Amino acid sequence: MSTLIRTHIRLARASIHANRTRSFLTCLGIAIGIASIILILSLTGSISRLISDELSSAGADLIVVRPSISKDTVTSVVEELTSSNLYQKSNLAISDVDRIAQIPQVTAVAPIALSVNTITDEDNTVASATVLGTTPDFIDIEPLALRYGTFLSDNNKSNSVVVGHMLSLLLFNTSNPVGRTLTFHGQRFIVVGVLEEITDTINFNNIDYNNTLVMDLGVLSELLGAPQIQQINVRVTSTSALSEVASGITDSLHQNHAGDTNFAVAYGNDLTHPASNLLNIISGMLAIVAGISLVVGGIGIMNIMLVSVAERTHEIGIRKAVGASSRNILMQFMFESVILSLLGGVLGIILGYLFAFLVSVITPFTPYISWEIIAITLLTSLVVGIVFGTYPALKAASKDPIESLKHYR
Amino acid sequence: MNEEIIELKGLTKRYGYGDTESFALKDFNLTIRRGEFIMIMGPSGCGKTTLLNIIGLLDRATDGEYTLNGENVASISTTRRAKIRAKKIGFVFQNFNLIDNLSILENVALPLVYINRPRTVRLQNASDALARFHLQEKEYYHPSQLSGGQQQRAAIARAIVSDPEIILADEPTGNLDSRASNVVMEELKSIHEEGNTIIMVTHNPALTTYATRVINMLDGQIDTDIKTVADHNLPQPIEKRNKKRKRSRRRRNN
């Protein structure tokens, strides 16, 4: 049997080699489909790696409380994406933050309340700066580094702010404005610290720290009225306390919210869920599009194999006359289409990673290479070869030897 | 006396139904012994090629019995037929039927592919067969680079490479000039002298001198059947071939 398989492979190679141009064009059809799949998988892989890196740098002992929307179903994720007033519906309040802080084993609680406001100093005005209202605990939870000065503390939080790197440049034309003052909502604040410039743009809080003004949530709510808290980050003493604290948070917020479960408590892998869900939907849809191009490539293979079968009718007749069974002929043509398709797959993997590398040059993504992706794409091209090679091969195998021998070009 | 290798009983091949019904073979009976060199003659359309195709298991009879080497092969599966074709039957065609994009050596080795011989053995056997027909220096040529006579000799080499029991030749000299015809016939004769059974269709009465038996067909039936050599004078399989066959049979049994 193995000699026969080797022979089939040799025959397929010879036939592909004899029709180089035709074979190359056929492979290209498969290669383009495979390349787009590689591109999609490598980019989404790189994004989810960015997210999980961010999560692990934030720490595994983190609990996040969000206004409840997200479920795992596709519709809820789409709803979450399309509803523009999501953050306005937040049911979390400052009292919730206080309640959580009282739970034992909680080491730090940092709410996140984002708004966009105008900030001025003596010379400049920034019309749309992100203002982050939080607590001094924030620096313990979010792995932020300070370039100059200090973060907010319980002592100075009533009149101090911390600014991001870009905001500092825009407002003060300097990277070190510690000690200078700025005006926000008619009240003057002293800049006590500047954040280190942040280069990776993706983090799971979705905040562009370079353009952010950080101030105390209590002060912010005095100025703006009750702000919307989009998220409360909670750090616990150890990872083993996570589930216990999480249920504690759920219980106390239940009481605070008069029994309503309009919040979600997440920790561990659940943290990345909304982002991963979105990513899965997008990559799934892109993969379907790539799949369509793969089907087109497969039809190309089928077409070429049908031509090949018609051209080689006489050869099929001769092979049958000297003792080839229908199965031998079937295998011969199956091998040819599978090898064509696999060649296309290999070409597609190379092309795909080439594209992914080019994309990585102009974007922050790094191409994500894993043996799983390569295995999946090779398997896909194998399946395409088998599926679209079957009909031509059956057609070849079912040819009548006598008729085929008469068929003389 | 040599044993019977082929027995045809009441063989019928019908084309079409009802008004369009026609018979290529009609109640055809024939017994062939090992070592016979049979020439089948007759006008066009008398069923010669159909007979050859049925004996060669390329075609099925509509009705009748066909016993090959004691095995009834009239109604066996196509896969089994292909297997018997690969092992026991060698074909020689009028238009040579070599595959154009394979070298002569690969063409000759082709039947061995389907009885699972390793590549080196295939090429060695094919090379030996070609050497026998004085074509060893043409091994790596392609069919289109050879003359008609050379192509037909290569085709005969292909027919005998798997050491078959029966060689079927359908007008092997039909496309050749008389000189090339004689060379081809001499080769067939030498194969026959080694004890092979040859059944050949021809239109050329001059070639019947090579035969041990001449059958004239008419309308799907035997018209005349003349044996020029008595059954007990048919060539015996030569010792070497006998040994070889025994050895391979022993190998198969083990």
CA distance A103 to A254: 14
CA distance A358 to chain B (A): 42
**B48 near A CB under 8 A:** no
What ipTM was estimated for this complex?
0.89
Which residue, B100, B185, B183, is CA-closest to B146?
A: B100
Supply φ then ψ for residue A275, to 5 degrees: -65, -45
CB pairs under 8 A between A and B: 71
Task: Classify B202 as helix, strand or coil.
Answer: coil
**How far, rounded to the nearest angstrom, does the alpha carbon of residue B157 sit from its chain's CA centroid?**
12
The 10s digit of each residue's pLDDT in A92-139 is 778 888 888 888 888 888 888 888 888 887 778 887 788 888 888 888
Measured between beta carbons, the chain B residues lying within 8 angstroms of A321 are 56, 58, 85, 91, 93, 97
Could you tell me the pLDDT band of residue A149, with boundaries at 50, 70 and 90?
confident
CA distance B177 to chain A (A): 21
8 Å CB contact of A322 and B56: no
Task: Give me the helices (H) in chain B, please.
Answer: 48-55, 78-88, 104-113, 119-132, 148-160, 178-193, 239-253
The 10s digit of each residue's pLDDT in B167-189 is 999 999 988 888 889 988 998 99
Q: What is the mean pLDDT of chain B?
A: 88
B77, closest residue in chain A (CA to CA): A325
pLDDT of residue A275: 63
CA distance B39 to B188: 12
CA atoms lying within 13 Å on the CB side of residue B173: 22
What percent of chain A stands above pLDDT 70? 88
CA distance B139 to B162: 17
Measured between beta carbons, the chain A residues lying within 8 angstroms of B114 are 4, 319, 322-325, 328
Q: Which run of H or E residues covers position B167?
A: strand B166-170
Measured between beta carbons, the chain A residues lying within 8 angstroms of B116 are 1, 3-4
Beta-carbon neighbour count of residue A409 at 10 Å? 6
Lookup result for tokens 């933050």: A97
Q: pTM of this prediction?
A: 0.72
Measured between beta carbons, the chain A residues lying within 8 angstroms of B97 are 314, 317-318, 321, 405
CA distance B105 to chain A (A): 15
Rounded average pLDDT over B143-160: 92
Measured between beta carbons, the chain A residues lying within 8 angstroms of B98 are 318
Q: Which residue has the higher pLDDT, A132 or A338?
A: A338
Which of the 8 DSSP states describes residue B58? S
CATH code of residue B87 = 3.40.50.300
8 Å CB contact of B114 and A1: no
Measured between beta carbons, the chain B residues lying within 8 angstroms of A320 are 58, 82, 85
Tally of domains in chain B: 1
**B56 near A CB under 8 A:** yes
Range of B68's domain?
4-253
